[in-house]
Homo-oligomer: A and B are copies of this chain.
Amino acid sequence: MEQVSRKAGSNIVLALDLPLGKPKKLLFQAKKILEAVHPHVCAVKFNHHLTLPLGLFGDLQDLLNQAKGFGLPTIMDCKINDIGSTNQTIAEYYFEAGFDAVTANPFVGWEDGLCPVFNKAKRMNRGVLLLVYMSHKGASEGYGQKIIGEEREKPQFQYRLFAERALKWGAAGAVVGSTYPEKIKELNLVLKEKVPIYSPGIGIQGGNTEITIKNGATYLIVGRAITQAENPLRIAIELKRIAHKSAK
């Protein structure tokens, strides 16, 4: 990831999210966007917007191969949060389909939860990104709540516990919403340089590129701001430029 990012001079992860549509049209649109912006991004993130209509082993393979052809790592944003055996099955199918990383929700816990996913990823040399603070408004209702642990004296914020899990479990990244720049700043201190922060929510959700980078995000996840733009290429170049300038 780091290598690709350095080579492309970009820390933009393209979230290839398109609104509901017919499979053939979605495939055509997605390929066109990826073809246009690929020199200016460092990875591609997929979500159910495409896996459900195209099928993981169906037309989605076409897109995954296109991304691979451009030398871009691929992330499946499946937000795994089931019991251990199911989580492992999910991860195996996504890895088998060609994804380099999956996202997972640390809320589900370790034992018979995400342990099998991290083990499987390690064996297959893939990554697991953990959700630490999501970008939407309701995030405060879960990620922002205060927890009393049995062995702790002081209450802890949920997202701080999740950041500790990211460090302890060896996550390849921590997802923290760009709509909460103060959380990025705080979590960047906790995660130091061990776990890079991936930040979604730039643009349509209200996140600001410069502020997000200055507060410590390593990668920006950008979806609709690019995919729904009249000229995705222009936006991708512009975001890359601002992100690059802000990182100095």
A residues with CB within 8 A of B = 17, 19-20, 23, 47-49, 52-53, 55-58, 77, 79, 81-84, 86, 89-90, 92-94, 97, 105, 107-115, 134-142, 145-149, 155, 205
Q: Which residues of B contact A84 (CB under 8 A)?
A: 136, 138
Count of this chain's copies in the oligomeric assembly: 2
A47 to B83, CA, bound (A): 11
Closest 5 CB pairs of A and B: A109-B138, A109-B141, A113-B138, A55-B55, A83-B136
Q: Which residues of B contact A86 (CB under 8 A)?
A: 17, 47-49
Beta-carbon contact of B112 and A19 below 8 Å: no
Chain B nearest Cβ from A207, distance in angstroms: 12
Secondary structure of the A side of the interface? Answer: helix
Q: Which B residue sits closest to A201, measured CB to CB?
A: B83
Beta-carbon contact of B110 and A107 below 8 Å: no
Beta-carbon contact of A142 and B48 below 8 Å: no
Q: Which residues of B contact A141 (CB under 8 A)?
A: 107-111, 113
